[in-house]
Amino acid sequence: MSPANPLPTGSDLDMRRQSKEPPSTPALPGLWTATVLLSPFGDSISPLANYSQLVVGIIECSSAPSESWMRVSLYLTQDRSYFDFVFVTVTDGEQSRQCWYWIDSTPNGPIKNIYGPFATTLQVPGPNFFSGRALWGNAYPLMCTDANPKGIDCDHWVLLHSPGSLDHGSWYSFRKDTGNLFRIVMIDAGNPLMIPVLGSYFIANLPTFTAGKVSDTATLLMKRIRSSDVTARADYWNPMVTQQDIHRAMASPLSSATCTPKDVQAVIPGFTASPAGVALPRWTDKTYIEGWTLGRDFIPYYTRVCYLWTDDADSKQQTCFIGWGRQPGQGTYFSRTDTCLNTGSTVRPYFEWDSRGSNWVFKDCLQPNPPVGLPYPNWIEHDDGVVKAQILGNSNFGLASDETLNLIAAQLPRGGGELAIFWLWFLGSGVGLLFSEGNYLNPLSHNLQVIDYNLFSRSADLTQNDFSNPCASTAKPSELALETESAHGHLTRVTIA
């Protein structure tokens, strides 16, 4: 590949974003069924031994003016346990009440018993869920694989958590070709929108989505609930709002069943939990990336990464984020913040787009928060990365029949019981698809949540001339060294001056 591509102009990015905005906000169908892959937030106090395991599930949803319900069947992919829940919202005039039920069943088996109802604040999302609070983010592809480098085109919307929210929301991606919901990214671990299960996990991928359909089994289940054919459990309480609530329920279940790898593959074909003998990927000495980043603004940041590893003091990385401004919630494509990393410092040059001069004008050096150092090429190994799952040949993830996708978790303890999880998606070829960092206890401690790679070159012809850093003279290694060394095991050592 040639050296780094020129950065887009702020004017072009802003114009393209406006031109791609759909004529209306998205809507959910009245009936729908979807499969789901759930990636948890980091959480070092979960009662589950394998708190970072991926969860696979089936969701069935029905919305009506008087009653809405959602059945969620979940499979713990490492523990091989199966759980079944139903969440109900009943509306009477302007009043509504919410409850949920624990279903005693097995994968594809009969329903033995129904426990509940249990009180909750969760509400089943209806067709108008996005009306009045969805803001247009931008359009860009997900799942840019070797077989499908153009990826799956998606529209991305940010949903405000409350009227007048100032600096962030949750993100909802819809496929352009079908209009179906495809991914949810929850920045807040507290499930502020009160969505059953889908709002409790860090990332929810919905590889399949079928409108206008729920199963006969779910319909009969709701008939039993309406007839009060249930078993009360006054001694049990769990609101099931957060990931922590769900983990607590799974750790001490009212009912559960075993499931097999075949059961999981019936939900997501090609899925294998904890595959053996899969080597961890690494960045090459000259890695070049283009993509989009979700942070704490209402637009995704155009992202470009140049990484040059020379195994000495000349090693460096420059990441440009167009759209990331000075204040959360106020970023536009006329502002740009770079993160420049080397073996001695972290600095953040800030630029603004000058339409008259048609160039990016340097304005200031922002305080690194938090300061980080330069990653080793094998930083995933340094962070004790583990391949949690592999998906083979599933076209809903952009894969060809012989193409593999490895889903990797790497941990970052932050102290005080706080544990971040990096979720990393890499093809078997070593090409990256996604980078994310999810925190449960303090999810807003970092601005960059998810990066989707649209281009990942492992053989870029990068040189020192492809890097710039107007803040280099202001860097103070001694101020950054202790936090860099103690908090980031994947980063190079910083020498205290």
The per-residue pLDDT for range 293-322, each reduced to its tens digit, is: 999 899 999 999 999 999 999 999 999 999
At 415 the pLDDT is 76
Closest to 469 measured CA to CA, from 350, 375, 343, 384: 350
Q: Which of 31-45, 98-112, 375-389, 478-492 has the lowest mean pLDDT?
A: 478-492
Q: Which of 58-67, 195-204, 238-247, 366-375 has the lowest mean pLDDT?
A: 366-375
Closest to 453 measured CA to CA, from 425, 411, 428, 412: 425
Closest to 367 measured CA to CA, from 350, 351, 342, 353: 350
Q: Which of 14-18, 66-70, 389-393, 469-473 has the lowest mean pLDDT?
A: 469-473
Query: For the chain, what is the HEC assignment?
Result: CCCCCCCCCHHHHHHHHHHHCCCCCCCCCCEEEEEEEEECCECCCCCCCCCCCCEEEEEEEEECCCEEEEEEEEEECCCCEEEEEEEEEEEECCEEEEEEEEEECCCCCCCCEEEEEEECCCCCCCCCCCCCCEEEEEEEEECCCCCCCCCEEEEEEEEECCCCCCCCEEEEEEECCCCCEEEEECCCCCCCCCCCCCCCCCEEECCCEEECCCCHHHHHHHHHHHCCCCECCCCCCCCCCCHHHHHHHHHCCCCCEECCHHHHHHHCCCEEECCCCCCCCCCCCEEEEEEEEECCCCCCEEEEEEEECCCCCCCEEEEEEECCCCCCCCCCCCEEEEEEEECCCEEEEEEEEECCCCEEEEEEEECCCCCCCCECCCHHHHCCCEEEEEEECCHHHCCCCCCEEEEEEEEEEEECCEEEEEEEEEECCCCEEEEEEEECCCCCCCCCCEEEEEEEECCCCCCHHHCCCCCHHHCCHHHHHHHHHHHCCCECCCCCC
**Angle of CA points 18, 188, 180, to nearest 5°:** 50
419, 42 contact by CB (below 8 A)? yes
Which pLDDT band holds residue 496 (cuts at 50, 70, 90)? very low
Give the C-alpha separation, 375 to 317, whole Å: 9
Which pLDDT band holds residue 352 (cuts at 50, 70, 90)? very high
For residue 179, pLDDT over 60 is answered with: yes
Across the range 64-79, mean pLDDT stands at: 96
Across the range 173-190, mean pLDDT stands at: 96
At 482 the pLDDT is 33
Token pair of 428 as six digits: 């078997």
Which pLDDT band holds residue 475 (cuts at 50, 70, 90)? low
Token pair of 215 as six digits: 């199963």
At 479 the pLDDT is 41
What one-letter code names the amino acid at 4?
Answer: A
Query: pLDDT digits over 376-427, tens only?
Result: 999 999 989 999 999 999 999 999 999 999 999 998 887 777 888 999 999 9
At 43 the pLDDT is 81
Which pLDDT band holds residue 486 (cuts at 50, 70, 90)? very low
Domains of the chain with bracketed CATH: 24-267 (2.50.20.30), 281-384+431-497 (no CATH)
Closest to 293 measured CA to CA, from 452, 456, 171: 452
Across the range 68-91, mean pLDDT stands at: 97
At 45 the pLDDT is 83
Higher pLDDT, 428 or 161: 428
Which pLDDT band holds residue 492 (cuts at 50, 70, 90)? very low
Which pLDDT band holds residue 371 (cuts at 50, 70, 90)? low
Query: pLDDT digits over 190-210, tens only?
Result: 999 999 999 999 999 999 999
Q: Which of 22-26, 134-138, 262-266, 342-346 has the lowest mean pLDDT?
A: 342-346
For residue 495, pLDDT over 50 is answered with: no
C-alpha radius of gyration, the chain, whole number? 23
Query: pLDDT digits over 7-55, tens only?
Result: 999 999 999 999 999 999 999 999 999 999 999 999 878 899 899 999 9
Residues 409-418 as b/e (b if ≥16 CB within 10 A, e otherwise) read: bbbbebeeeb
Which pLDDT band holds residue 164 (cuts at 50, 70, 90)? low
